[in-house]
Structure formats: structure tokens, C-alpha cells
Chains A and B, each alone.
Chain A
């Protein structure tokens, strides 16, 4: 049997003196801080491994038929907007056959959206994978659904207007998630432009 008495006052035996308050809160926050530090150390490697795994899977999903290790050969390219994107070259027998580009947009509904966009050498989109987003579950998170994604596949952003229809482009936004769709399109467009920029600077590729 358990005694339950909702009316009984809190049974604290320690008086609420200034020193007691100070000591109690200090001890509690210290213990909490230390345990968190421990858990952080403990989960640091699995978290890093999970993110690395995700990056690898994302690359595998967006470029195909390569025989090199794109992560080992990654490099950064500056965009026109002052930041830089990570490029993961996909090569077959030493020749470039595609490029996986990690792009991002800060115009998401609730934070940054990070994508992996795979291009053929001509700039045609092979596939897009959402790496990270903070969009509304069930709405903005539909960015990875095929219905929305298919609008980008095998398209060359040089030929079509990669903007949602509301902004005069040719992309059907996800119902109820125009902002997420806009951010997604922006990130893809940014990857494409930076890819073109890099190609123009490196004609030998």
C-alpha cells in the first residue's frame, strides 16, 4: 500500500535560509552539469558517426556509378554570397562523372535546411536528399516525399525556373509548406550556381 496525500505540505526538513538555498541549488546544478558533461562525452562519438553515416548515405543516394571515395576528396567552393559549400566529387576511373554538393538555406520555416544535391557533369540534378531540417513534422518534413522531390529530378536548373509557383517559378510547393518548399528550392539553386561557378573556374574538368 502506498500513502497518497495530495494535501500534505512538502516535507522538506531543510529550512529555507539563504545559505541553504544557495548550497542546494549550487549542488544540484553542479551535479546536473557534470552528468551532462559525462553523457555528452559518451554520445559524442556515436553522434559524429551517425552524422558521418548520414553524409555517406546521402552521397550514395545522389550520385551513382563512382569508384572513388567522394568524402576523401571533398573540397570547399566559395559561393557568390560569401559562404562556401562542400563539394564531393564522384569519379569513375579518374574522370569526374558527377558532383554531390552539400547546400543549405537559412530561409526554412524554423531554422536551417541542409541538403545534399547530386549533379551530373552537365548540371542535371540526379537526386536530392535532405540531411537536416527543423521544419514542422508532417508538413515541411514532406520535402523528402517523392511527390515534391520528383519535380527536381533529371532537371537542369539552367533550363527551368527553380522557384515555387507563388514566386513565379515552376515548382509546385508542398501544400501548407510554401516556406519550406521555397527554402528547399533556394538551396538547390545555390548548389547549381556554385557548381557552374566552379566549372567555369576549372574548365579542365
Chain B
């Protein structure tokens, strides 16, 4: 039986078990929305909220849900929170809501959210599940923002919406192939750092 300190539960989602760069879950929104840094950040925060809230609810009802229906039950809970996020975004951040459009409802099928519900929240206390959700959410947000920043810089020559020059960047980085290329390079660099022999 492994034991982890609270700090480790939180931190593992950011680097060691980063949902995007290490576990490689939730790649659909990762590749889809990260055409700019702001989109990546917005999507990350929306997912963070859903992750934490669904982890809270799932960890508190885990003993009341029979095994056979736990997946449908989790999906209903997750879908409810996603709809809440969508309504809140439409009401208070309409511009971002327009930008992310279709991708917000797709948080429901983001494997990270269901993955954390099944692998962590359904087996741990609420406190630990909140930390896990926060850690994974922050890791996801950082990953998306990093991807978005790189793609925006190379593809549109701008940083967080501020144009550096008037000319066009490399369009391929705004398109889906650019997402794959950027993600591939980041994963390669992270693996290299991890496997590097201590000097």
C-alpha cells in the first residue's frame, strides 16, 4: 500500500503524472483548442473546475453507488458540472465562450476527468480527491497554456493575443498538424530531461 503526502498528491499531476505530457490523456481538447495561449488557459481552467467539482462529488458518493452503475453515475455527475461551466461561461465570459465554442461540452468525454474519477476519487477521501483534482487540473492548464503559447508564437507571431509583427506566422502551427508536432517535441524534451543520466 503506497502512501503519498498531501503535497505529493497535488504535485504529481503537474510534472510526474502530467495528464497531457506523461499520461497522454485528454488529447482531443489539447490538440483542438491550443491554437492560442488564451484558449489553452481558458480550456484548462474550465477543465480544472470540472475536475475538482466532480472529484468532490464522486469521492463523497463513492460508497453509495453500486459498482455496476458507477461509470454511468460518474458520467452524469461530470456532464452536469460541464453544463454548469458552459452556462456560467456563456453568462459571464461570452467572448471566451464563443472562442472555445464546441470544445466546452466535450469536457464531458475528456478522459482525464473520468480517469481521475475512476482511478482516484472513487477510492480516496474527499480531501485527497480535491488535491488530486487541483493538481491534475493545474497540470492540464499549464500544459495547454504552454502548447498554446508555442503554437500562437510560431503560428500567428503573437503572445497572448498581442501581435509582435504584422506578418503571418507558420500557418501549420495553428492547424492540427502543428499541435501534434509541438506536443511531440515537448514530450520528447520532457522524456530526455527525465532519462538524462546524472552528470
Contacts and interface: CB of A to CB of B under 8 A. Distances in A.
A35 interface: yes
Nearest to A15: B66
A28 B60 CA distance: 13
Contacts of A40: 87
B57 to A, nearest CB: 9
B35 A137 contact: yes
Interface size, B (range): 35 or more
A93 interface: no
B119 A6 contact: yes
Which of B61, B64, B79, B171: most chain A CB closer than 10 A? Answer: B64
Contacts of A92: none
Interface in A3-57: 3-6, 8, 10-17, 20-21, 24-25, 28-29, 32, 35-36, 39-40, 43, 46-47, 50-51, 54
A28 B4 contact: no
Contacts of A8: 123
A174 to B, nearest CB: 10
B80 interface: yes
A19 to B, nearest CB: 10
B66 A2 contact: no
Looking at chain B's contact residues, the main secondary structure is helix
Interface size, A (range): 35 or more
Given A5-B123, A39-B84, A137 B66 contact: no
A151 to B, nearest CB: 16
A26 to B, nearest CB: 11
Interface of B: 1-6, 9, 32-33, 35-36, 39, 61-70, 72-73, 76-77, 79-80, 83-84, 87-88, 90-92, 94, 98-103, 119-120, 122-125, 127-128, 131, 155-156, 168, 171, 174-175
16 contacts: A2-B4, A10-B123, A12-B67, A21-B69, A24-B73, A28-B65, A28-B76, A36-B80, A36-B84, A51-B94, A137-B32, A137-B101, A138-B35, A139-B175, A175-B168, A176-B171
